[in-house]
Chain A
Amino acid sequence: MNTVPTQEAGMNTLPTQEAGMNTVPTIHVADPVIQVRNLGKVYGSFTRDSILQTGPEFGTARDPRTGSIIAAWNVNFDVAAGEALGIVGESGSGKSTVLRCIAGDQPATTGDVRLACHDNGEFNILHLDPATRRRLRIDKLSVVYQDAAEGLALGVTAGGNIADPLTAAGWRHFGRIRERAADLLRRTEVPLDRMDDIVRTFSGGMRQRVQIARALANNPPILLLDEPTTGLDASVAAGVLDLIRRLLEELDLAVVVVSHDFAVIEMLTQRCIVMQHGRVVEDALTDQLLEDPQHPYSQKLVAAARA
C-alpha cells in the first residue's frame, strides 16, 4: 500500500490502454509535433486498485483507501503544426495537470511524450534530465499561464521579462534585445511606453499580453496555454482571445489550450479532448463536440455552455 511505482515499473504493471480499460479512441494526425501517450499523474502513493476504482465511473479521482489523487491517467493525443488542441473540463478534471506534465512543471508519474522539435521525436521527453527539459523551455516550448505570476517576474519590467528568454538563448546586445522586445510588445498590442514599467503595475489583460510576447520571444514551435483568459473581464478576455487567434493564424505553431470555457475552445481550437475525474471521456473535432457531444459529461458541459 505504500509502494510508489517508478516510472518504468508503472508502465509495466499498471492498467493502461493495453490492459483493456474503457478508453476513448484517439484521433491520430500525420506528422505530429506533440505526441502524448498514456500520460499519468498521481499525487500520493497508489496501487493498481487506485487506478481501477477511480475515474468517471466512480465519480472521483481520489482513492478512498490511500487518499491519493489520480489527477490524470491514460491521456493520449497528437497535435500537428498549425493546429490547436483544446483540453476542456471542470476544475479538478486534470486538464491543467496534463499541460504541466508536458511543460515539465511537474514530473509525470508515467507516460510517453515526444516532441518533433526535440531529436525528431525519437525520445520520450519525460525521461530527459531536468536540465535538458528546462532548456526546451527556452526556444522549443513556451507556456502561458492563467496566473501571470507563474509566467512572469512581476517585479521586472515588461522588457526585462522578454529579455529573460532572449539572454537565455544567448542574446548579448542590449540594443537588439530592446528592439526585439519592442517588436514583440507591438505585436501583442502592449503600449510601448509601458515597456519599462514593472509588470506588477499592469492590468490582468496587459499581463497576459506580456506573457504571450515573452512566450513567443524565441519563436518556439510549441505553445501551451493554460486558461489564458480566465479571470479577466469579459471585454478584456475577448481582446486577448482575439490576439491569440490572430497570432495562431500567423504562426505555424502546435498549440494546446486548456480551458473550462467553451467560448475559448471554440474560438481557438480545431480539436479537443474532454476530461473528467482525471480521464479523457471524449476526443473529437471541436465543431462536432459542440454540435453533437457523445459522452454524457460532454453533453452536460456543452448544454451548460449553451445555456
Chain B
Amino acid sequence: MTNESAIDMSSLAEITGDAPTTPFALLDEESKREIRRALLQAVAIPGYQVPFGSREMPVARGWGSGGLQISLAIVGNDDTVKVIDQGDDEGVNAVNLRRLIASSTGINETTEVNEATIVQSRHRIPEDPMGADQILVLQVPVPEPLRGVERDMKELARMHAEADYSKMWVSLYEDKVRNGVITQTTGYPCLVAGRYVTATTPIPRWDIPRLHQADFLTLFGAGREKRVYAIPPHTDVEPLTFDDVEFEVESADGATCKLCGSSDSFLVESPGTTPSWTCSDTAWCRRRRQA
C-alpha cells in the first residue's frame, strides 16, 4: 500500500469507522432536509419545477434516482412503501428500488395500495383510488413540458415566468391539423392550478384525470435534471386541449384483460399470433381475480 492511500484510508476510517455504515434511508440528514425544503416549495407553487441539489444515488440517473430521493427524504419508521414500474410491483426496477428503500430503512413493503403510505411509481398511477393520507411519488425523466417546442433554457425559463405558452398551443394546433387528432401520447402536458404547464411524467393519458382534484399529494422527482415539483391535493389539473377538441384517453376497442376480464383499466398488449391484453396494474388485476 502506498503512503498516499494509507493516509487517506486512516483519515476516512476515522470518519466512517472501519466498516462504513450507511445512514437511515441512505442519505445523510442534511441532504434529506434540503430535499424536503425543496418539496415544501414545490407544494406551495403547484406545478413549478423547483431546482434541488440532486444527490448521486445507488441507482443511475434516469433510473428513478429523483423519485428515490423524494421517498428517502420523506420516509419515516412508520411508513409502508409500495413501488411499481409500468404498474407492476414485480418489474425489475420496481423490485430494485423497493429493496433499496426497505433495506436502508427497515420499513414495511406492500403491493396493496390501501396499505401503503408512500407509493413510488414509474409511468403509472395505481388504478385503485388513493386517499388523503397517502403520497404518490412519480419518477420523472424529463420535467420540462415545453422541451419539445423550445430547447434554450433561458427562453424556457422566460416562457414559464410569463406564462407564455403559445408555442405549446401552436404545436397542439399543428398536431390536430396534420393528424386529425392530438398525438401526444404519455406525459401529456397539463395546466396545473391554472398557472404552470407541467409534464405529467410519462404516465398514460388514462391516468391524467386522476390527478385532477385528487385527494392525495403527488410529488414528482427528476434526479438527473435536478428538479422536483408537486401537485397538492384538490388542485386543478387540466390537460391542454382546445375547447372544441376532446381530451382522449387510451382505448382499445373490445379489449379485455385475459386474466381478470377487465375492460375499464389501462391494458397492455402482448403481441403474437393471437394478441392478448392484461392489466398494467398487476396488484389491481390480482385482487379482481380473487374477489
Contacts and interface: CB of A to CB of B under 8 A. Distances in A.
Physical contact A–B (CB less than 8 Å): yes
A163 B162 CA distance: 19
B166 A167 contact: yes
Given A131-B162, A168-B164, A168-B166, A163 B173 contact: yes
A171 B88 CA distance: 41
Interface in A150-168: 153, 156-157, 159-161, 163-165, 167-168
A164 B149 CA distance: 13
Contacts of B165: 167
A175 B173 CA distance: 10
A273 to B, nearest CB: 34
B174 A157 contact: yes
Contacts of A175: 244
Contacts of B243: 172-174
A174 B175 CA distance: 12
A177 interface: yes
Interface string B155-173: 0001001101111011001
A193 to B, nearest CB: 13
Interface in A164-206: 164-165, 167-168, 172-175, 177, 196
Nearest to A155: B174
Contact of B174 (A131, A135, A160, A173): A160
A118 interface: no
A246 interface: no
A140 B244 CA distance: 28
A134 interface: yes
B105 to A, nearest CB: 45
Contact of B177 (A134, A157, A165, A173): A157
Given A172-B243, A173-B242, A164 B170 contact: yes
Q: Size range of the interface on B?
A: 10 to 19
A131 B161 contact: yes
A272 to B, nearest CB: 34
A163 B245 contact: no
Interface in A250-303: none
**A interface majority secondary structure:** helix
Contacts of B177: 157, 159-160, 196
Interface in B168-200: 169-170, 173-174, 176-178
Contacts of A153: 170
A37 B165 CA distance: 34
Contacts of A134: 162, 164
B154 to A, nearest CB: 12
B87 to A, nearest CB: 33
A160 B170 contact: yes
Contacts of B164: 134, 168
Contact of A174 (B161, B166, B167, B173): B173
A209 B166 CA distance: 22
A134 B158 CA distance: 11
Nearest to B178: A196
Given A173-B243, A174-B244, A196-B178, A167 B173 contact: yes
B118 to A, nearest CB: 37
A164 B173 CA distance: 9
Interface of A: 131, 134-135, 153, 156-157, 159-161, 163-165, 167-168, 172-175, 177, 196
Nearest 3 CB-CB pairings of A with B: A167-B169, A174-B242, A168-B166
Given A167-B173, A196-B178, 14 more contacts: A131-B161, A134-B162, A134-B164, A153-B170, A156-B174, A159-B173, A163-B169, A164-B166, A164-B167, A164-B170, A167-B166, A168-B166, A174-B173, A177-B173
25 contacts: A131-B161, A153-B170, A157-B174, A157-B177, A157-B178, A159-B173, A159-B177, A160-B170, A160-B174, A163-B169, A164-B167, A164-B169, A164-B170, A165-B166, A167-B165, A167-B173, A168-B164, A168-B166, A172-B169, A172-B242, A173-B243, A173-B244, A174-B244, A177-B173, A177-B242
